[in-house]
Amino acid sequence: MKIRALVFDFDGLIVDTEGPIFRAWQRIYRERGHELPREQWLTIIGTSTGPFDPLMDLGERTGEPLDRDELDALERLYYREATAMQQLLPGVERYLAEARRLGLKTAIASSSRSTWVMEHLERFGIHEHFDAILCSEDVSRTKPDPELYQKALERLSVSAVETIAFEDSTNGIRAAKAAGLFCVAVPNPLTAGLDLSNADLRLESLEAVTLPALVRRVEAARPQ
């Protein structure tokens, strides 16, 4: 089956937002005399409906009511400080350029809000590379539910067997596979230790394999 489209996760796949956000919350915890449990934080990577709420957890640890707006503002401040010199993750620009050259459609399927995703895409000047951008507001259920991927396929007018998904988290891989896509896991330092075994292929970065070579590999593996 010929590959016609690519669907990318956003956080931790196109831009390393996940590491800086985790470190921002680590800083918030430590300023209040506590440590942020890494294993609990990992449960919310790739989804907006995870079982862990750092604000509630920290409030229980301190025994004090915490102001969500105040801590959200601190998170944004610490995030900006940590990402002042941030760049796209390795291989992203080349994959987008090669996708255009190959005539492949491209989309983003993200559990984050559109304002967050678009802010970063516009900052790096790559928003026009995508034919569709699906975010949390576009669906009733985010990852690991497959709805984001299903909507992306609809927007691109392609089928699941014609599409490759790129994900960095367990929740994202579950969503992509539930929607029937061939899924490539590309973990970042924060998600590298997660169970990503349900992905069809794992790459250490998008620089590991050229897009034309990857497409040939997937087309050979897909039923004709």
Task: Say if residue 47's pLDDT is above 90.
Answer: no
Calpha distance 150→161 (Å, rounded):
12
Instruction: Give the whole-number percent of the chain exceeding pLDDT 90.
Output: 73
Confidence category of residue 224, pLDDT binned at 50, 70, 90: low
As given in the structure block, the two tokens for residue 207 are 């620089």
**What is the rounded distance in angstroms from the CA atom of residue 98 to the CA atom of residue 167?**
19
Domain boundary among 57, 82, 107: 82
160, pLDDT greater than 90: yes
Residues 56 and 97 in one domain: no
Final residue of a structural domain among 64, 82, 100 = 82
Residues 32 and 113 in one domain: no
Token output for 150: 């299903």
Q: Which residue has the higher pLDDT, 149 or 51?
A: 149
Burial of residue 115 (CB within 10 Å: 0-12, 13-18, 19+) is exposed
Residues 213, 146 share a domain: yes
Q: What pairs with residue 5 in β-bridges? A: 105, 163
- Pick the last residue of a domain from 63, 82, 101: 82
In this predicted model, which residue has the larger pLDDT, 148 or 224? 148
Query: Domains in the chain: how many in total?
Result: 2
Burial class (CB in 10 A: 0-12, 13-18, 19+), 17: buried
For the record, the structure tokens of 119 come out as 């802010």
The pLDDT tens digits of the residues spanning 114-134 come to 999 999 999 899 999 999 999
Q: Based on the domain organization, do 12 and 22 belong to the same domain?
A: no
Residue 1: pLDDT over 80: no
Using one digit for the tens of pLDDT, what is the confidence trace for 12-24?
Answer: 999 988 888 899 9
Distance CA 68, CA 75 (A): 10
**Residue-number span of the structural domain to which 41 is assigned:** 18-82
| pLDDT score recorded for residue 201 | 97
Looking at the structure, do residues 137 and 65 belong to the same domain, yes or no?
no
Residues forming the active site: 9, 11
C-alpha angle 100/183/146, rounded to 5°? 100
Integer Rg of the chain from CA: 18
Chain centroid to CA 25: 18
Same domain, 24 and 125: no
Do 141 and 127 sit in the same domain of this protein? yes
pLDDT tens for residues 68-123? Answer: 899 999 988 998 887 777 889 999 999 999 999 999 999 999 999 999 999 999 98
pLDDT given for residue 108 in this prediction: 98
Does residue 68 sit in the same domain as residue 96? no
